[in-house]
Amino acid sequence: MANNDTNVVLRYNSTQHQASPASTGIFNTSAFSLAANEFGIIVIEDADGSCDTTATPIINRGDLVMLTVNTSMTFSPSLAERTNVWGNVIPEIGSWGIITFRTPASYVREVYNLL
């Protein structure tokens, strides 16, 4: 992930893998206790069970997962308003996925859906 000030290569932290979101909501799921160079996984949908293993989860066609990042650590002290963020998800086999978004003009809520 990167913005104009920070460029970080994130590595999977297997201790931050959750097989499903918490019953009280995704952001109450314990998969965000990450260092600046780590990401976690919360499994949303996985019909074949390929993501169930914490050591080597396999995300394949039809799976829906949330990749978690502690932005306060990665983009210390935090992501400012109107910041462009971009990155790549690089699988062992197959095509890269591209992530790009711009943060809101102001933060009035704690959680923003950046889809």
Q: Does a structural domain hold residue 25?
A: yes
Residue 4 lies in a domain: no
Coil, strand or helix: which one is 100? strand
Distance CA 92, CA 35 (A): 23
Residue 74 lies in a domain: yes
pLDDT of residue 18: 92
Strand partners, 65: 43
Residue 35 lies in a domain: yes
- State how many domains the chain has: 1
| φ, ψ (nearest 5 deg) of residue 2 | -155, 155
- Walking along the chain (115 residues) 10 residues at a time, the average pLDDT comes out as 89 93 87 92 93 88 91 84 92 88 85 67
So what's the pLDDT on residue 115?
61
Structure-token match 């293993």, residue found: 53
